[in-house]
Chain A
Amino acid sequence: MAKIKKKIKTIKVDADKCNGCRACEIVCSGYHSTPKYSSINPARSRIHVISHRMKNIWLPVFAGEYAPAECMGRDKYVIDGKEYDECSFCRASCPSRDFFKEPDSGLPLKCDMCESDPPLSTPMCVQKCLNNVLTYEEREEEVEEEEVKVEDVETGLGSMIPARQTWTSDCIIGVYSLT
């Protein structure tokens, strides 16, 4: 099989710097509205700042893969004495919670790194976070080219879901730095 170059896109999250303002959610929802910035609604955002003020938790999380079913069990982290809610670090749009779902239709939302033509310099949330919590990074890696079999191609309603864009598996979002 041939080797191909693949672009890895990362948003590094320095959660210690987050002041919880949610500018990222606002611009994300505006950018993804049609026409662009015609409406604002953080509930439609593909980034969400999980916050528990009194516990000193401000955690920006990006929408990841759609999960049709809940996990068999849940995780709960305690880091530096701070107990995070169940599944806090999970990016899935999943039946266990109402994160990352279109409020009207319930369809899953997924971060697309603000992919556009012509491309943006960095995703909008990175641009609008004036406290430098979010840093965009890009690198190339060589990988084996995968052969796609006809029977694996998704058809029907599932393929309509915007979250199922094939390229997104190349993206890593969320390199966290926490205290």
Chain B
Amino acid sequence: MRYAETGYNLEIDLATGNIERVETDPRLMELHLGGLGTNVKMHWDRVPPETKAFDPENLLIFSTGLLNGTPAYSANRTLVTFISPQSHLLAYPMMGGFWSAELKYAGYDKVIFRNKSPKLVYIWINNDKVEIRDATHLKGKGALETQDLIREELKEPRAQVAAIGLAGENRVFTASIEQGRSSASRLGGGAVMGDKNIKAVAVRGTKDVYLARGAEFMQLMEEVTEYINFRNTNPIPDVMTILSGIGSPQEMKHTDEKWHTENFMWGNARTRRRDFWNKKNEENWTSTQLESITRLISCFNCPQQCGALVSPEGVSRYMMKCFGKLTYSMAAYVDDLGFNFRILQRATEYGVDSFSTPQILAFAVELYEAGILTDKDFEGCPPDKEGRFFWLLDRVARREGIGDILADGVYYAARKIGKGAEKFDHNTIKKHEQLPLKLGMLDPIYFLMYSTNEKISITQIEGNFPQSAFPTREQREAFVKDWIQVPDERFKQYILDWEPRGDHAIPYFPTPEMCSEIVDWMEMLHNIDDALGLCAGMSSFCLKPPYHIHNYPKLISAATGMDIDEAGLKKIVNRSRNLHRAFNNERGLRRADEKPPEDHWKRRFPELEEKLLSTYYKFKGWNLDGVPTRERLMELDLGYVAEDLEKRGILEVGKN
């Protein structure tokens, strides 16, 4: 009997149409839990470093997390892994929604796609019956539209469908995989899905997921529920609204966007508008949002309401998620939020990442204004800001004209366009567009997170540690008083000693050693979430969340029957994290790649930054080039990884 996990994967060879239900090794859960952990292991075992994103050998894996389908609130993330066409590294965007739980109930932990289908297909997983079905009639259909068309065609309104739109079909590097109110957007999963000729994956399941010690699990969930209720009625004081609660981060519930609009950059991560949130704009943004919302909605088994069904004037209904609600307006310098709500409908149907894509469009506008792109490139483009963005979005999704170049993202487009366009690529890390943030003083914690994490996207790396020092001693004392989530009491002292200005302020405080510990804590928790399929909004992505390192081992033990303590859990996610790092090292990732954009902070400290990186590497058990040492790998039962790194000359035998 397998608990929490189903113990089976679906292996689908798209070239031959062969489908197999494969029993998995129970030891994999003990070594890597599930979700991201077991996915990384599978890529390590099966995808050699020479494989490129659009090679048939690139695996595309849809995975559940270990706790999906159990009564753990907010365990609903679907994880998608593949070699990214943008970064050429192992990407792992995730989505909430309902898909992963349904897959568990259908009796599978993962769906593994290899090779390419000769024509456009969709997959229909209905418990034990799995079909590869023709999807030529769905070619060009919207990502959202496709989900309902498939449900109708199958006469199964309860099927959960993950689909791509035109952008995925056209292998746009920022193409997303859309599902209900969620999407796996970052790093081009939609492009890999489109390259494999998969329009959608539909799933319906009516089987059991077993809990080893169910009554105990429910008892533990009682405490979690109590804390959720407590946090929902006790927002954290002295921080911005958006950071005060739990959830991800309830963007559709809050209308107060002072923080995003005045602290994040507009245009191509270019201009900070410190006085944007005036009365007029606040009224426009608040009323636009409230008038558009038809209903606040959640993902599977989650009491929060981070998303919304929206019906903006003049466009079809769709479901709004997260920060996308303002990225297009900000990138296009359009003060009216209504524009964002309108263009996002089209962007969702095309299926594109709403972090990267608006920046790509803004980058194109900048190049045009600088004379690097010309009227010829913009032939037929309306002159107004809004029209221009719609026009550019169409070109990118269709890969037409200049859109074909832009569709590869800012990094590659800049190099292809040349003529100085490279200078306008000022907001990518590892070839991937980042949040539009440009700040004053180097932040050592964020420096490390931006530089080193395998996720290559700051959202969902950060979270448990406050983003800045509290101004007064009283505020700090109040914050640490009931901070039950800390892995170690010393973190409380860091907060107490951390000041906005002076000797105990950034960039020199927290010290590199402290920063390493803080970053390690945050990424550890994200890695646990990503293995369990837990929404970061209820754990690693927010302050004082309901799930943390102290209750996770108990929940995992009760669900799986595998008794595990904090040290054991930390070891598992460290193992998976180091395996992921080694996988990316084999694909060329080195220290030289680990740097935020030059203008990310105005005030930079090269020596300190080098020290931060070296200290963090040492803390992680990596050599100065960011590669795990043999010693570290042996501690984590990854001797086979050390051997491979040595065989390839990435680690020197006898050294490191």
Q: A20–B309 Cα gap in the complex (Å)?
A: 11
Tell me whether A39 and B217 are in contact in the complex, defined as CB-CB below 8 angstroms, given that A22-B300, A130-B229, A130-B303 are known contacts: no
Q: A38–B216 Cα gap in the complex (Å)?
A: 10
Q: A35–B299 Cα gap in the complex (Å)?
A: 28
Q: Which residues of A contact B (CB under 8 A)?
A: 16, 19-23, 26-27, 30, 33, 35-44, 50-54, 56, 58, 85, 103, 128, 130-131
The number of residue pairs between A and B whose CB atoms lie closer than 8 Å in the complex comes to 97
What's the interface size class on B, roughly? Answer: 35 or more
Tell me whether A103 and B207 are in contact in the complex, defined as CB-CB below 8 angstroms, given that A21-B303, A37-B71, A41-B105 are known contacts: yes
- CB neighbours (8 Å) of B301 from chain A are 21-23, 26
Q: Which of B218, B225, B303 contacts A131, CB < 8 Å? A: B303
- CB neighbours (8 Å) of B538 from chain A are none
Q: A37–B218 Cα gap in the complex (Å)?
A: 8
* A21, B299: Cβ atoms closer than 8 Å: yes
Q: Which of A38, A44, A53, A85 contacts B180, CB < 8 Å? A: A53
Tell me whether A30 and B206 are in contact in the complex, defined as CB-CB below 8 angstroms, given that A36-B215, A130-B228, A130-B229 are known contacts: no
Tell me whether A23 and B211 are in contact in the complex, defined as CB-CB below 8 angstroms, given that A53-B319, A58-B295 are known contacts: no
Can you report 7 A-B residue pairs in the complex whose CB atoms are below 8 A from each other?
A19-B305, A21-B303, A35-B214, A37-B218, A43-B105, A103-B206, A103-B207
Q: A41–B210 Cα gap in the complex (Å)?
A: 9
Q: Is B317's CB within 8 Å of the partner chain A?
A: yes
Q: Which of A16, A20, A36, A38 contacts B210, CB < 8 Å? A: A38
- CB neighbours (8 Å) of A85 from chain B are 157
Q: Is B120's CB within 8 Å of the partner chain A?
A: no
* A40, B71: Cβ atoms closer than 8 Å: yes
Q: B7 to nearest A CB, angstroms?
A: 14
Q: Which of B69, B207, B217, B298 contacts A20, CB < 8 Å? A: B298
Give the interface centre of B157, B206, B225, B228 by most chain A CB atoms within 10 Å.
B206
* B214, A56: Cβ atoms closer than 8 Å: no
* B211, A38: Cβ atoms closer than 8 Å: yes
Give the interface centre of A38, A50, A51 by most chain B CB atoms within 10 Å.
A38
* B206, A41: Cβ atoms closer than 8 Å: yes
* B302, A40: Cβ atoms closer than 8 Å: no
Give the interface centre of B70, B181, B229, B303 by most chain A CB atoms within 10 Å.
B303
Q: Is B296's CB within 8 Å of the partner chain A?
A: yes
- CB neighbours (8 Å) of B297 from chain A are 19-20, 53, 58
**From A37, which residue of chain B is reached at the shortest CB distance?**
B214
Q: A48 to nearest B CB, angstroms?
A: 9
Q: A19–B209 Cα gap in the complex (Å)?
A: 23
* A42, B105: Cβ atoms closer than 8 Å: yes
- CB neighbours (8 Å) of A41 from chain B are 105, 206-209
Q: Which residues of B contact A (CB under 8 A)?
A: 69-71, 73, 98, 105, 144, 148, 157, 180-181, 205-211, 214-215, 217-218, 225, 228-229, 294-303, 305, 309, 317, 319
Q: A16–B297 Cα gap in the complex (Å)?
A: 11
Q: Which of A43, A44, A56 contacts B294, CB < 8 Å? A: A56
Q: A39-B210, A39-B211, A54-B144 are in contact. List 11 more A-B contacts (CB 8 A).
A: A20-B298, A21-B301, A33-B214, A38-B210, A43-B206, A52-B157, A54-B148, A54-B309, A56-B294, A58-B297, A85-B157
* A40, B70: Cβ atoms closer than 8 Å: yes
Q: Which of B70, B214, B296 contacts A36, CB < 8 Å? A: B214
Q: A177–B302 Cα gap in the complex (Å)?
A: 22
**From B294, which residue of chain A is reached at the shortest CB distance?**
A56
* B295, A39: Cβ atoms closer than 8 Å: no
The 10 closest A-B pairs by CB, nearest first: A37-B214, A43-B206, A130-B303, A39-B208, A103-B206, A19-B298, A41-B208, A21-B298, A38-B214, A40-B209
- CB neighbours (8 Å) of A53 from chain B are 180-181, 297, 309, 319
Tell me whether A56 and B211 are in contact in the complex, defined as CB-CB below 8 angstroms, given that A37-B218, A40-B71, A130-B225 are known contacts: no
* A19, B295: Cβ atoms closer than 8 Å: yes
Give the interface centre of B148, B218, B229 by most chain A CB atoms within 10 Å.
B218
- CB neighbours (8 Å) of A52 from chain B are 157
Q: A50 to nearest B CB, angstroms?
A: 8
- CB neighbours (8 Å) of B157 from chain A are 50-52, 85
Q: A149 to nearest B CB, angstroms?
A: 40
Q: A41–B98 Cα gap in the complex (Å)?
A: 14
- CB neighbours (8 Å) of A36 from chain B are 214-215, 218
**From A19, which residue of chain B is reached at the shortest CB distance?**
B298
- CB neighbours (8 Å) of B294 from chain A are 56
- CB neighbours (8 Å) of B144 from chain A are 54
Q: A41–B205 Cα gap in the complex (Å)?
A: 9
* A21, B300: Cβ atoms closer than 8 Å: yes
Tell me whether A23 and B303 are in contact in the complex, defined as CB-CB below 8 angstroms, given that A41-B208, A85-B157 are known contacts: yes
- CB neighbours (8 Å) of A40 from chain B are 69-71, 208-211
Q: A37–B214 Cα gap in the complex (Å)?
A: 5
Tell me whether A39 and B296 are in contact in the complex, defined as CB-CB below 8 angstroms, given that A30-B214, A54-B317, A130-B228 are known contacts: no
Q: A51–B306 Cα gap in the complex (Å)?
A: 18
Q: A53–B301 Cα gap in the complex (Å)?
A: 16
Give the interface centre of B71, B294, B299 by most chain A CB atoms within 10 Å.
B71
**From B307, which residue of chain A is reached at the shortest CB distance?**
A19
